[in-house]
Structures are given as structure tokens and as C-alpha cells.
Amino acid sequence: MSNNEIAFFIGLFGSVHCVGMCGPLALAVPSFQTRWWLIVSDKLLYNIGRVITYSFLGLLIGFIGKQLWLSGLQQGVSIVSGLLIILAGFSRIFKIHLPGSKLLLPVNRLLNYALRHKAGHLVVGLLNGFLPCGFVYLALVGAINTSSPIAASAYMFWFGIGTFPLMLLAMVGSGFISPVIRRHINKAMPYLMVCLGLWFMIRGMGLNIPYLSPQKQASGISVCH
């Protein structure tokens, strides 16, 4: 399975979590259109905005990943990032509060301003992509393990595409997934994070298992299939 396929499925499986966490915000963005196809286009623009931001974040994180590849540190970073994902999953399983970052407060202010002044769905979607989200962070950890900024941007693009269908359906259908189902799936998400973290760690160990744990080359850079 390629990196982009992994990113897509992380987004697809995590999109139920996105509906539960970001759905209320998405549904709060008013549409002033009266025809159904114009309403759908507004929701499309919102989700396109999210995907653009995710791709941009992937491009930025990709410059860090490229330097790690050139330094031969990629496999070590894969192990460390896997460990961090596992810790994040356990923090949710055992309800351990992790302090948030105040660096994102300006984004919250801009988003509130955009909502108050009836900014377009594309603008709100672009800003929403910067809001803290566990699955976006998880995807960014995967993106940093790619070999170039373009590859990292593509990774985040496919992650965003994975979240696209369910988020669009939820917005158009006003949250067709019941709160009970969302709660059950959200409870399962931390266990998925632990599994993904284990996969990152195994991949970084270079155990010479095709597709799962490529063997480390002499240069220190792992072979990705």
C-alpha cells in the first residue's frame, strides 16, 4: 500500500471523528442560497478549502521531512513519531488531558470574524483546516515521513480527500449520522491511533518485511514501496 493510499484511508476512517468534532462548526456556516445545487456548491467550497489548507501544511512539514531524509534520520523519526502517536492514543483512551497550544488563538479569532461577517464557505474552510485536530496531527506525522515537500503535500491532499465524502454528506444531510453512532466510533478512534503508531514504529525498524517494514539501506534512507 502506497503512502497516499494510507493517507486516504486515515482520512476516510477518521472522517467520522471529523463529523463529530468539526461537524457542528461546518453546519454552523450559513448558506444564503435557495437552490439545492448552489447549497451543495457552498459545501463543496468549504471542504475544498480544508483540503487546500491540509495540502499547504503538508508542503511546509515536507521541508522538514526532506532534511531528515538527506540526514539519514528518517527511520529514527518514524519510530519516534509512532511512539508519539501511541502516546496520543493512550491519552485519549485513559482520558489524560494534554495542554493545547495558544499559538492557534489567532486562527480561532479569524474564524469567528469570518463567521460573524458571513465570509464565503471557501474562506471558512481554509481557516478550519488550521484548527487543532488529532487526526490532522496524525496525518502530518505520516507526511513528515515522506521524502520531499511535494510528496508530503500529496500525502495531506489524499488525507483531505479521504475526509471529503462523509463531511460533505454530513453537511448536506445536516448530520445524518446519529450522535450515538458517532460516540461509538469516536471511542474506537484512539485504538486505531495506537495501531497506526505501532505500524510507524515497525516500519522504522527496517525488519525487511515488504510493504510493512522496508530494510534500511547503507545510506540510512529506507526504501518505500
* SS (HEC) of the chain: CCHHHHHHHHHHHHHHHHHHHHHHHHHHCCCCCCCHHHHHHHHHHHHHHHHHHHHHHHHHHHHHHHHHHHCCCHHHHHHHHHHHHHHHHHHHHCCCCCCCCHHHHHHHHHHHHHHHCCCCHHHHHHHHCCCCCHHHHHHHHHHHCCCCHHHHHHHHHHHHHHHHHHHHHHHHCCCCCCHHHHHHHHHHHHHHHHHHHHHHHHHHCCCCECCCECCECCCCCECCC
Residue 158 domain boundaries: 3-204
Q: Is 222 domain-assigned?
A: no
Per-residue pLDDT, 8: 93
Q: Is 153 domain-assigned?
A: yes
Q: Is 219 domain-assigned?
A: no
Instruction: Categorize the per-residue pLDDT at 222 as very low, low, confident or very high, splitting at 50, 70 and 90.
Output: very low
Residue 19 has pLDDT above 90, yes or no: no
Per-residue pLDDT, 116: 59
Question: What's the domain count of the chain?
Answer: 1
Q: Is 215 domain-assigned?
A: no
Arithmetic mean of pLDDT, 43-60: 93
Q: Is 37 domain-assigned?
A: yes
Q: Is 71 domain-assigned?
A: yes
Q: Is 98 domain-assigned?
A: yes
Task: Point out the least confidently predicted range of 52-56, 61-65, 116-120, 159-163.
Answer: 116-120
* Whole-number average pLDDT of the chain: 76
Task: Point out the least confidently predicted range of 38-42, 77-81, 92-96, 212-216.
Answer: 212-216
If one compares 90 and 25, the residue with the highest pLDDT of the two is 90
Q: Is 213 domain-assigned?
A: no
pTM above 0.75, yes or no: no
Instruction: Categorize the per-residue pLDDT at 217 as very low, low, confident or very high, splitting at 50, 70 and 90.
Output: very low
